[in-house]
Structure 1
Amino acid sequence: MPDSAAERKLAEQLGDIRPELVDAYLAALPAARSAVLARLWRGLVHEPLPWIVGRVSGRDGISLRLADGRLLHGPPSDPWATGTAVARVELDGRPFDRPAHLFTALAVPGGGRFAGELDHSVASMALSRTAPHPAGPPAMPWEWEQRSPDGHPYHPACRSRPGFSAAEQLAYAPEHRPVVGLRLAPVADATVRGPWPADLRDGRLALIPVHPWQAEHALTGRPLRPGPNAHPLLSLRTLDLGGNIHVKTALSVQLTSAVRDISAYSVEHALTTSEIVERAAEHLGGRLHIARTLAAAGDGTPDLAAMLRQSPYAYAGPGEQVVPVAQLPACFAPLAADERGDRIAEFARLAVGVCLDLLDLGVALEAHGQNLLAVLDRQGRARRLVYRDLADIRISPTRLARHGIRPPMTGRLLDDDPTTLRRKVFGCLLTGALGPLAGDAPTLGAILAAATRGLPATPDLQALVKDPLPVKALTSMRLAPEGDHWARLPNPALLC
Structure 2
Amino acid sequence: MHRLPLSEAEAALGDELSTVRPDLSAAYAAGLPGARAAVLTRLWRALAHEPLPWIARRERGREGLTLHLADGRRLHGPHADPYATSAYVTELRLDERAYDRPDRLVTALAVPHASGFATELGHSVASLALSRAQPGLSGGEPAASWEWEQRVVDGHPYHPNCRSRPGFSVAEQLAYGPEHRPVVELGLVPVDDCLVRGEWPKWLRDEDRVLIPVHPWQAAHVLDRGHQEGFSAHPLMSLRTLALPDGPHVKTALSARLTSSVRDISVYSIETSATVSAFAEEIAARTDGLLHVTRTLGAVSAHSPALAAVLREAPDLYARAGERVVPVAALAATGLPRSPGWTARFARLALTVGLRLLDLGVALEAHGQNLLVVLSAEGEPLRLVYRDLADIRVSPLRLARHGIAAPRMSGRIVTDDATTLRRKLFGSLVAGALGATAGSAAALREDLGSAVDDLPRTADLAALLEEPLPTKALTLMRLEPGTPGDSWACLPNPFTGRAS
> Which TM-score applies when normalising by structure 2?
0.96
Letter in 2 for 1:460: D
| Cα pair 1:133 1:147 within 8 Å, conserved | no
Give the secondary structure class of the aligned counterpart of 1:494: coil
1:347 equivalent in structure 2: 346
The alignment-based identity, stated in percent, is 60
Task: Check conservation: 2:107, 2:114, Cα contact below 8 A.
Answer: yes
Picking from 254, 257, 266, the partner of 2:257 is 254
How many angstroms does 1:25 deviate by? 0.6
Q: 2:147 aligns with which of 139, 143, 148?
A: 143
- Residue 493 of structure 1: SS of its match in structure 2? coil
How far the C-alpha of 1:400 sits from its partner, in A, is 1.5
Residues 250, 310 of structure 2: 8 Å contact kept: yes
- Corresponding residue for residue 364 of structure 2: 365
Q: What's the C-alpha RMSD, in Å, of the aligned pairs?
A: 1.4
Which residue is equivalent to 2:397?
398
The answer to whether the 8 Å contact 1:244/1:313 transfers is no
For residues 133 and 323 of structure 1, the distance between their equivalents in structure 2, rounded to whole angstroms, comes to 19
Q: Is the 8 A contact 2:196 2:301 kept in 1?
A: yes
Q: In structure 2, the residue corresponding to 1:192 is in which secondary structure?
A: strand
SS at match of 2:496: helix
Equivalent in the alignment of 2:306: 303
C-alpha displacement at 1:83, in angstroms?
1.3
> Which runs of no fewer than 5 residues in structure 2 stay unpaired?
none
What are the Cα deviations for residues 254-279 of structure 1, in whole angstroms up to 9, with x where unaligned?
Answer: 10010000000011000101111111
Task: Give how far 1:466 is off.
Answer: 1.1
SS in 2 for 1:125: helix
Match of 1:204 in 2: 208
Once the two structures are TM-superposed, the CA of residue 2 in structure 1 deviates from its matched residue by 6.0
The 1-side partners of 2:459 and 2:152 are apart by 36
Q: Distance in 2 between the 1:330 and 1:86 partners? A: 19
Aligned mates of 1:331, 1:68 — CA distance in 2: 43
- CA displacement at 1:244 relative to structure 2: 3.0
Q: What is the CA-CA distance between 1:495 and the residue it aligns to? A: 5.8
Match of 1:71 in 2: 74
Contact between 1:100 and 1:116, CA under 8 Å: does it hold in 2? yes
Structural mapping, 1:367-446, within 5 Å: 367-403=366-402, 404-446=404-446
1:2–1:29 Cα contact (<8 Å) kept: no
- How far apart in 2 are the matches of 1:365 and 1:51? 33
Q: 2: CA distance between counterparts of 1:489 and 1:170?
A: 36
Q: Deviations over 1:383-423 (max 9, x none)?
A: 10000000111111111222322211111100110000000
Aligned to 2:242, what secondary structure does the other structure show?
A: strand
Deviates more, 1:403-412 or 1:191-200: 403-412
Shift of 1:84: 2.2
Moved over 6 A (4+): none
User: Secondary structure of the residue that 1:314 maps to in structure 2?
Assistant: helix
* Aligned residue among 150, 158, 168 for 2:162: 158
C-alpha contact (below 8 Å) 1:448/1:465 kept by paired residues: no
Q: Is the 8 A contact 1:326 1:432 kept in 2?
A: no
- Residue aligning to 1:171: 175
Residue type of the alignment partner of 1:487: A
Paired amino acid for 2:114? G
Q: What is the alpha-carbon distance in structure 2 between the residues aligned to residue 225 and residue 470 of structure 1?
A: 46
- State the distance in 2 between where 1:400 and 1:133 align: 48
1:484 to 486, 490, 497: 486
**Alpha carbons of structure 1 residues 363 and 73: separation in structure 2 relative to 1, 3 Å:** same
Q: Deviations over 1:333-367 (max 9, x none)?
A: 444xxx2x422111111000000000111110010
Within the alignment, does 1:44 sit opposite 2:47 as a pair?
Answer: yes
Distance 1:165 1:353 in 2: 43
> Structure 2 vs 1, CA of residues 381 and 149 (structure 1 numbering), >3 Å: closer, same or farther?
same
Report whether the alignment pairs 1:85 with 2:84.
Answer: no
Is the aligned partner of 1:125 residue 2:117? no
Q: Secondary structure at the match of 1:357?
A: helix
Question: Shift in Å at residue 331 of structure 1?
Answer: 5.2
Asked whether the equivalents of residues 114 and 478 of structure 1 are also in contact (C-alpha less than 8 Å), the reply is yes
Is the CA contact (8 Å cut-off) linking 2:144 and 2:325 kept in structure 1? no
Alpha-carbon contact 2:194-2:210 (below 8 Å) kept = yes
Tell me how far apart the structure 2 counterparts of residues 67 and 478 of structure 1 sit (CA, whole Å): 19
Counterpart Cα distance in 2 of 1:288 and 1:320: 15
Cα distance in 2 between the residues matched to 1:25 and 1:329:
23
CA–CA separation in structure 2 for the residues paired with 1:141 and 1:430: 22
SS in structure 2 of the partner of residue 462 of structure 1: helix
Instruction: Compute the displacement of 1:30 (Å).
Output: 0.7
Q: Is the contact made by 2:37 and 2:100 (CA closer than 8 Å) also made in structure 1? A: yes
What is aligned with 2:331?
A: 328
Residues 393 and 415 in structure 2, CA contact (< 8 A), matched pair in contact too: yes
For residue 341 of structure 2, give the secondary structure of its aligned residue in structure 1.
Answer: helix
Distance across 1 between alignment mates of 2:35 and 2:497: 33
Tell whether 2:236 aligns with 1:233. Answer: yes
Secondary structure, aligned partner of 2:495: helix
- What SS does structure 2 have at the residue aligned with 1:115? helix
Measure how far apart 1:92 and its partner are.
Answer: 1.3
Partner SS for 1:389: coil
- Residue 280 of structure 1 and its aligned partner are, at CA, apart by 0.9
Distance apart, 1:327 and its partner CA: 1.0
In 1, Cα distance between the equivalents of 2:79 and 2:274?
47
Identify if the C-alpha distance between structure 1 residues 447 and 333 changes in structure 2 by more than 3 Å, giving closer, same or farther.
same
**Counterpart in the other structure of 2:281:** 278
For residues 366 and 136 of structure 2, the distance between their equivalents in structure 1, rounded to whole angstroms, comes to: 26
Q: Hey, what does 1:493 align to over in structure 2?
A: 495
- CA shift, 1:132, in A, is 2.3
- In the TM superposition, what is the alpha-carbon distance from 1:332 to its structure 2 partner? 5.3
Number of residue pairs aligned between Structure 1 and Structure 2: 491
CA distance in 2, matches of 1:432, 1:52: 24
Residue 350 of structure 1 aligns to which amino acid in structure 2? L
Secondary structure, counterpart of 1:162 in structure 2 = coil
Which one-letter code corresponds to 1:165 in the other structure?
A: S
Alignment-derived partner of residue 316 in structure 1: 319
2:333 & 2:73 partners in 1: Cα distance?
41
Query: What is the distance in 2 between the residues matched to 1:267 and 1:195?
Result: 13
Change (3 A) 1:371 1:142: same
CA distance in 1, matches of 2:31, 2:333: 20
SS at match of 1:242: coil
